[in-house]
Amino acid sequence: MNMLYQMVAKTQFGLEGVLAKELTNLGAQDVEEHNRAVSFKGDKGLMYKTNLYLRTALKVLVPVKKFIAGNEQQLYDEIKKIDWSQYLSNDGTMVVHTSLKSDYFNHSQYVSLKTKDAIVDQFRENTGIRPDIDLIRPDLSIDIHINSNEVTVSLDSSAESLHRRGYRSENTLAPINEVTAAGMILLTGWNGKGNFMDPMCGSGTLLIEAGLIAKNIPANMLRQKFGFETWKDFEPETWKKIKEEAVANIKESEANIIGSDKTFKAIEIARENITRAGLDEDIKVSNKQFDEVKPPEGGGIVIMNPPYGERLPIEEIDAFYKAMGDKMKKDFEGFQVWIISSNIAAMKRIGLAASKRLNLFNGALECKYHMFDIYKGTRDKRKLEAAGNPLS
């Protein structure tokens, strides 16, 4: 039987549940949710698969040692006790990243430096040759996490964060993170079929993530490099088979994915990204104000990431959110409209009661992700309420 590894997939706050579901679907065992992470067990093939497929993971880590350390010397000593020749050659390259929440350690960079010193010293003492540091393309990426005085040392099988899918151009917009976008879609429960719209699509992230879901394309199919590919125990044949199987399982889209944005530049960038993702045939975008959008028949899912307007005058942003709500009531009957925003006061101007309100982050901004069911009669009911005759 293949050896089972204990692994941890890191994610963003609020996406733990959808990530756990993704892991279970991939065949992971002992799946457990934690704060911004999900732990699980699986063999080496599953480690490769999780990196390729997971839409809502930022990294897949393989913990190799946990210990208690109250200062830098203890940390150094414990790191040096690990036999690093299992994972790295003396002429290889490495990088160390540290995250910490601790009164014992103040500087993550200093912890990374001490860890690197311990590893380098072990190789030098044992072989006379030492591995080098490579910040960009190291053979081994090491992750140190310190919670109080509990240290976890992990190998980072992803290396660069998994939100870097490989379809995004360098651009000047502030797009939503790919992992957040995929999580937002999975949270709606969308089955990958029928109408999917983003009428404020910016650079097209939500549309592209929806396209990948509709065609059953793994999230990281376009990525050039994963951490595990330069590990000493890398199995190229296993990896090749996993990728071939993924290609064989790509299907025709049964979705109608439509995006628009009021800015021409945004649509230009969205088109470039859609082309790079190989989804030209599957996503239609146009340069339009939300107010001009005519949704197709049949209902479906709308997701919007509107401006939050923290720097605009309150009256302007209130009017913008009110107009958004009026448009939803007027033209989006039969749709479930999901909106992410950090502007809770402005969200009230939408004038509809949210059926769900989930906590998510957009980067560092704490947001609410609201679901509005625009069913038949929403408009009439609002009119009656406005006339002081509420039905319920």
Which residues bind to ligand SAM, rule: CB under 6 A?
173, 175-176, 199-200, 202-203, 205-206, 261-263, 266, 289-290, 305-307
Q: In terms of CB distance, is 246 or 323 closer to ligand SAM? A: 323
Q: From residue 82, give the alpha-carbon distance in Å to each of 66, 75, 142, 309.
A: 11, 11, 13, 51
Q: What is the DSSP letter of 73?
A: H
CB 225 within 8 A of CB 160: yes
Q: In terms of CB distance, is 39 or 341 closer to ligand SAM? A: 341
Residue of minimal Cβ distance to ligand SAM? 202
Instruction: Tell me the Cα Rg of the chain.
Output: 24
Q: Helix 205-214 crosses helix 178-188 at what angle (to 10 degrees)?
A: 60
Q: In terms of CB distance, is 199 or 227 closer to ligand SAM? A: 199
Q: In terms of CB distance, is 92 or 175 closer to ligand SAM? A: 175
CA-nearest of 305, 313, 355, 327 to 184 is 305
Q: Give least dist CB 217 to ligand SAM, A.
A: 18
If phi > 0 it is left, if psi is from -120 to 50 it is alpha, else beta; for residue 228 that is: alpha
Q: In terms of CB distance, is 119 or 339 closer to ligand SAM? A: 339
Cα–Cα distance measured from residue 290 to residue 86, given in angstroms and rounded to the nearest whole number: 57
Q: In terms of CB distance, is 144 or 255 closer to ligand SAM? A: 255
**Interior CA angle at 187 toward 322 and 147, to 5°?**
110
Tokens encoding 286: 């146009």
Q: In terms of CB distance, is 95 or 185 closer to ligand SAM? A: 185
In this structure, what are the phi and psi dihedrals at residue 60, rounded to the nearest 5 degrees? -120, 115
CA-nearest of 289, 187, 208 to 255 is 208
Q: Give least dist CB 342 to ligand SAM, A.
A: 11
Q: In terms of CB distance, is 183 or 199 closer to ligand SAM? A: 199
Burial grade of 380 (CB within 10 A; 0-12, 13-18, 19 or more): exposed
Cα–Cα distance measured from residue 193 to residue 205, given in angstroms and rounded to the nearest whole number: 18
Q: In terms of CB distance, is 113 or 319 closer to ligand SAM? A: 319
Residues 6+ apart with CB under 8 A from 131: 88, 89, 90, 91, 92, 93, 94, 119, 120, 123, 139
* Helices and strands in the chain: count of H runs, count of E runs: 11, 15
